[in-house]
Structure formats: C-alpha cells, structure tokens
Structure 1
Amino acid sequence: MDKVNRFSLVNPAKSPFFYGYVILVVGTLGIYFSIPGQTIGVSVFTDPVKDALGLSRNQFSNAYMIGTILSSLFIGRAGIWFDKYGARYTAFFAALTLAIALVLCSWSLKMSNLVKDILVLDSWLIPFTIMTLLFFLIRFSGQGVLTMASRNVIMIWFDKNRGKVNAFSSIAISFGFSSSPLWVNFLIEDYNWEGAWRIMALGLLVFSVVIIQFYKNRPEEHGLLPDGVGKPEKTTEVTKEEKKQYTLQEAKGTRAFWMYALMLSFNSFFITGLTFHVVSIFASEGYPKSVAISIFLPASVVAVSISTIFNYLSDYLSLKLYLFLMIVGGILASMGLMVLSSSFGIYLLIAGIGTMGGFFAVLNAIAWPRFYGRNHLGAITGKIMGLIVLASALAPSVFSLWYDTLDSYSLLGYVGLAFLTFLTIGSLKANNPQ
C-alpha cells in the first residue's frame, strides 16, 4: 500500500476533479467537529456540570481558564507534529483524544466521588482539579490541534485561490458555530449532560475514520499541485525560487509575524472577555439582559459579510490593508466600550467586533502560508494559535478583575485604544516577508 495513502481507500490522483475541493469540505467539517473543545461548545455545559460537581461559577470558570492556559503552552508542539507527521495523523489523533476526553468528562462526577472516597476528603478542590485537567485535554485537542490541522490542510491544498475557498469555509463555520448551542442544549435536555458528552464523543470517533480516509497531507505527494494546476515536475524549480519557506525562528524574526499575531490575539481577548461578561457589562450601564444578548446577531452578520467579501478579494489585495482595517475594527469596539452608556456606543461595539471577527477569519487562515510558505506551516500556526488561546484564557479574569477594582468596564476601552495605537505604529513596516 502506498505510504501516503496508508489506511485509506481514497486516492486523490484518481479523482475526476481536483481533490482539493474534497479537502475543503472535510477540513471545514474538521473545524466544525472541534466545537466540543471550543468555548461556544463548553459554555452550554457550565450550569449543569458545575451544579452536579458542587462547584461555584467562579471555581468552574477558573478551572476552565487554567486548563486553557495550560493547553496554550503545548499547542506549539502540536504544530511541529503537524509539520513532521502531516494533517492526517495529527487531526486523527486530535479527534481521538477529544473523544476520549469527552467520555472522561461524562464520568467526571463519578471520578470526583471516587477520589473523595479514597482520600476520605470532601473538598471542592477534587472536582476542580479533575475539571482543570479535562479542560486542558478538550481545549488542547479541540480548539487547538484539530482546528489548526483542519484549517492548515485546506490552506496547503490551495495557493492562488486560498481566499475564495476560505470564504466558503468561513461562511459554513460561522453558521455552524452560531447554531451549535441549540443542538448541544437539545442533547443535554434529552440525554443529560453526561449523555450529551458521550454522544459527541461517538460522533468524533466516526469522524476520525473520515479523517484517516479523506485527509491528505499535500497535493505534491499525489502528483498534484495546489489549485489543481500543472504537474509538480514542471514547476518545482520555479516554485522554490519564487517563495522562501520560512522556519518558525525565521518567521519570528519578521515584524509581520508579531504585528499580525498581536492583532489576532487582541481580537480573541476582547471578544472573549466581552462575550463572557456581556450581561454584566451592559447591566453596569443600565441595560437589560435582552439588549446585551441582542448585539451578537447583527455583529455576526457584519462578520460574515466582511469575511465573505474580503476572503474573495484577498487573492488580489495586500493583507496589510486588511490588518489596518482590523485595527480600525478594534478601535471602534474599544470606543464602543468607552461610551456604552449611549445607544451610539452599542452601534460602535457591534460594528467593531463584527469587523474584527470578519477580518480574523481571513487573516488567521491566509496570512501565514502567504507570508511564510507551507513547509513549516504547522510550527508557525501552532505558535500563533498558542498566543490566541492564551489571550482568550486570560480575558474573562482580566475583565472581571478590572471591574472589581475600578467598578467600570468602560475604562478598558482606553487600554484597548493605547494597545491599538502601538499596533498601528508597529504595523507601518509590517510588510509581507516574501
């Protein structure tokens, strides 16, 4: 059996159409199947699980934060695995790990009671420690490795048409993620939280078979080229001359790496903190819960519209323009937080987080292979993903601490503006290293 097709019955070289479009579909599904490890997939379990384990909301949130921070420290290593072993095996073992972690999550109450009986100790620290370790597993394998491997494999199979295919993927993921709380809540109501986690684990086991069958590492391994053009032997020399393949260390030595990474991380920090405390943030300015929740639908419409249009245009435009437009979105969001007491502040906030979210979907997928090539894409995106996950982990606690100390969320907007001013100046020379 051909080494690159080991354990698979699917041969891309015999496909009647360019196999990259199969990769686009299954890679997008891979990101969708990471939902159990994403904040949007975990948040629905918060109330039933914390109540069953006897944890307070703050204790449960801190376990989630610590587990997420720990996962961010190891995602970079997973990126190196991606470069060494390829998308198939990396995504396959990530899906298996996530499935196992979800089964363990469904047993968390039993494990907690067992440890309490063995130690003859009835302490909240026991379920807290168990959930911290389980959150580390699901965040690392789900939000981290499975997402990274699935997004990267799509980008590797396309070059000139990356923006167009990422537009399709972004739209599908946006609608998939936004609807996920509904079906996750349905599973919890019908099968309890333990059963819901086991059903999702079963789905991941089935999808792991799809991964090993349909994920393919690189088009060149199958006698193909990105975008389905030409033959490798005719263009290899030209390709090598045209694009330098940066290592992680070389990429970190460029200004673009840090400016783009910091802006993506700011987006993750701001939106996660806002989402986590949105009811409290709006209540502090005298708004009811219904108004707080209502901002996400129009913000999603803005984000999807921007990602669709600018993904398509990214095949023709400079990504540096996108970076500055994303910074503008951050400025609007920060100003919205500063003047949230007025209705104008709400509109600024919606426009800001929608703009940032839209450009995040473009830059986080397209910038890295365009700037640094495909050979070390795993190590580079693994490092970026680690920074993004770390920012998202710190945000809820920073927002909460800021409010408890200063009795105001609006002052965070000034900090955001200061940081974005620094990014604007630093990004003036953040050019494409190619």
Structure 2
Amino acid sequence: MGAGTFGSFMTLPGQTAGVSVFFEPITADLGISRTSASVAYAFGTLAGILPAPLIGRWIDRRGPRLTATIIAGGLAVACALMATIQSTMTLLIGFALLRGAAIGGLSLVSQQVVNLWFVRRRGIAAAAASLGLAAGSMIFPGLIDVLILHYGWRGAYIALAGIVALTILPVAAALFRDRPEKFGLSTDAGLVPASEHPRAEPSFTREQALRTGVFWLLCAAGFLTNAIGTALLLNHFSLMRTAGIAHSSALLLLSLLAGVQAVATLGTGFLVDRYEPRHLVPLSMSMLALASALPVFGSGSAISVLYALNIGAAYGSQQAINAAGYAQYFGRDHLGAIRGASSVFGIAGAAFGPLPFAVSVDWTGSYAAVLIGCCALCIVCGAGALAVKRPSSAAEPNPKGR
C-alpha cells in the first residue's frame, strides 16, 4: 500500500495540478495562445491514454512490478523531453508522453497494486493510497513554482525528470508486487473473515463488465469529474484573476483544495466499505455541480474558498469511488483490462474538458456559459445514479470468470 501511495504521489508531474503551473510560462515562451495550448493538451492527453486498455491487459499478464518499473522510467523520459519543446506540435507530443506515462500508466498500476491486496478493506485502503495524489497536489505546485522561479520552466522539467528517476523508479522495482496469494499470503493483511461464508468475490471479464449499467455510471462520473476538474485546474489562475484573487493566494487555494481532497478521499473510502459505490455518486456530482456554479454567481475571497472546498471534496470523493468501485463490482481477475477500458473514458474527459472553456473565453470573454452547462451535466449524472442497479450474479458465470 505504501508503494501504491507513493506511485500516486509521483504522478503529479503529469497531473493537471502540476501542468497548470507550467501553462502560462510555456504559452508566453512559445508565443502561442491559451486556446492553442489547450488544444495541444487535449489531443496530447487523448493520444497518451489510447494505449491504456493494452497497458491494463499487460498489468494483468506481467504483474505490477515490471510494468510499474518501465512506466516510471517512461515518466522520467517524458519530463526530460518536455524541456525540449519548441512548437505547438512538439508541445502536443510532449503532453502525450507525459500524460500517458503518468495517468495512463503510473496511476493505473498504482491503484491496481492496492486493489490486488485488499478486498474487505478495499475502500479505505484504496482511499488511503489515493492520498498520495492529494499530497502531491499540495506539494508539487509550490515546488514547481519555486523551480520555475530559479531555473525557468525548462530547467524545472529537467529537475522533475531527475526526481522521478531517483524516487519512484527504484520504489517500483523494489516494492510493487502481484496479488498476495502468489506469496502464500491472504488479502486484507490477514484480516479474519467476518463470517464462515463470506460473499464470493465477483469475477467479471471486461466484456461482461461493459454490459453492466454500473460500469457506465462509474465511467460517466469519472468522465465528468476529469473533464470539469481538469478544465478548472488548468484555468485555475485565470479563474482566480477573474475573481480578484492574486497569484500567491491562488497558489494557496490549490493547497487548500488538495487538503480537502485528502479528507474527502478518506471519508468516502470509509463509506465505500459500507455502502455501494453507485449510491455515493450523487454526493460527488452534487459537490462538482456546486463548484461549477460558484464562479458564475460570485467572486472574492469567500466564494473562492468555498469553490476550492467543493472542487476538492468532489475530486476526493470521486477518487475513492473510482479507486475501489470497479474492483468491488467486478473482482480482481480481469481488473487491469477493465480499468484500462474505463480509464479511456475518464482521461478522455481530461482531454476534452478544457476545450469548451477555451472556446467560451475566446467567443464570449467569460467562463459563465460553459460553467452553467457543466453544472447541469453533473445534476443529470447524479440523478441517473438512482436508476442504476448492482450487476447481477448471472453475469458471473463461474468463480474464475472463464
């Protein structure tokens, strides 16, 4: 669990919270518009995530140790290559490598290794491991800001490449492990079953999972959270300027957001062990709807703090639901393939989410229209969760999922 937590922490160079600090220095240095950079980010993210289903199957077949080590090396190389970009096209390629290694690779395998080792305690374990992402969101933006101040944005990316190579690369090689049964151990750190006849763990193949409503509910919630959250974080400093918030205060709000995200992740992880993940989706969607609406109807410090609280809570709760939900509904046997498929939808949200925001600013000079639309979509998704049912045992043909 410690290795998975640290893996999530080290995805930050490729997460939006990390990239957002680079966004304005890159656009200024390359002489490109925010819209052009947003398009490069969108298509780079989409290109980077397309191999995720193959990576998921690769994790199932070769185990987390080898895959995590290779992916960590790829992330270090991607950071180094980001320091060499000279145009919009090379920026797109850099984003593809960076986002693919961090989101489509390291994030996926870091969640996978925790899900393999926990079943009854999966909700709280996956949530605790996801705190690495929240901790990274608190630490990396400030660290990157300091690195850019002293070494420029290109030097900052070189420094990040070195940090990745010296930290997560050896951790992945030394501590990532396949499921505990292969080592003669049991799941949940040897926790004694609550009854003599515990509920059988499900075993869905990817094709069976794709035929369930709950798979598409989790995908829809993940898509919206990534789309809206990525757009808000990528345009965070622009939104805060509109609200009358200085750069230094906007940086502090990112830390507040990450702190709330950590609390919400743990709290929701506790709930996931007691309630079905589908019943918690309306909670995350309602907070994301509020986060979308607040910048439209107010400004100033109080509204900005409330905005940061809601987006942090929405991110944290959905993070816990996403981390444990697929394993809880579909089991561990084909989890890599299932998560690889679902991640395409989630990261597609991150790819396309910023585009309507850029277009809205270019056409209307304001984020208001797109934010109202985002609020409405969150309400629809939260309401839709009430109609989705738990996958029936009929979809589980036998214990091995064959």
Q: Which residue pairs with 1:65 in the alignment? A: 42
Cα pair 1:95 1:146 within 8 Å, conserved: yes
Shift of 1:359: 0.7
Q: Which residue pairs with 2:76 in the alignment? A: 99
| Aligned counterparts of 1:349 and 1:211: Cα–Cα separation in 2 | 36
Change (3 A) 1:259 1:337: farther
What SS does the corresponding residue of 2:119 show, helix, strand or coil? coil
Matched, 1:43 2:1: no
Cα pair 1:63 1:132 within 8 Å, conserved: yes
Given the alignment, which residue of 319, 322, 332 partners 1:364?
322
| Aligned counterparts of 1:408 and 1:49: Cα–Cα separation in 2 | 22
Q: Which residue pairs with 1:20 in the alignment? A: none
Q: Which residue pairs with 1:113 in the alignment? A: none
Q: Report 1:197-346 matches (<5 A).
A: 197-206=157-166, 207-229=168-190, 242-281=200-239, 287-289=244-246, 295-340=253-298, 346=304
| Aligned counterparts of 1:307 and 1:255: Cα–Cα separation in 2 | 24
Shift of 1:374: 0.7
Q: Report 1:42-191 matches (<5 A).
A: 42-108=19-85, 127-191=87-151
Residue 171 of structure 2 aligns to which amino acid in structure 1? V
Q: Which residue pairs with 2:399 in the alignment? A: none
TM-score for both structures, normalised by structure 2: 0.85
- String of CA shifts for 1:143-162, please: whole Å, max 9, x gaps: 22111101110111111112
Shift of 1:185: 3.0
Residue 325 of structure 2 aligns to which amino acid in structure 1? A
Shift of 1:83: 1.5
Shift of 1:377: 1.1
Supply the RMSD in Å over aligned alpha carbons: 3.0
Shift of 1:412: 3.0
Q: Which entry has the higher C-alpha Rg, 1 or 2?
A: 1
Query: Which runs of 5 or more residues in structure 1 are unaligned?
Result: 1-23, 110-126
Change (3 A) 1:341 1:216: closer
Q: Which moved more, 1:422-431 or 1:136-145?
A: 422-431
Q: Which residue pairs with 2:385 in the alignment? A: 427
Aligned residue pairs, count: 388
What SS does the corresponding residue of 1:243 show, helix, strand or coil? coil
Change (3 A) 1:141 1:318: same
What SS does the corresponding residue of 2:268 show, helix, strand or coil? helix
| Aligned counterparts of 1:47 and 1:403: Cα–Cα separation in 2 | 16
Shift of 1:343: 8.2
| Aligned counterparts of 1:421 and 1:57: Cα–Cα separation in 2 | 29
Residue 197 of structure 1 aligns to which amino acid in structure 2? Y
| Aligned counterparts of 1:96 and 1:70: Cα–Cα separation in 2 | 19
Paired-residue identity, %: 27
Q: Report 1:384-399 matches (<5 A).
A: 384-399=342-357
Change (3 A) 1:413 1:199: closer
Shift of 1:351: 4.6
Cα pair 2:245 2:301 within 8 Å, conserved: no
What SS does the corresponding residue of 1:427 show, helix, strand or coil? helix
Change (3 A) 1:88 1:184: same
Cα pair 1:255 1:429 within 8 Å, conserved: no
Q: Which residue pairs with 2:396 in the alignment? A: none
Shift of 1:252: 1.4
| Aligned counterparts of 2:97 and 2:58: Cα–Cα separation in 1 | 17
Shift of 1:243: 2.5
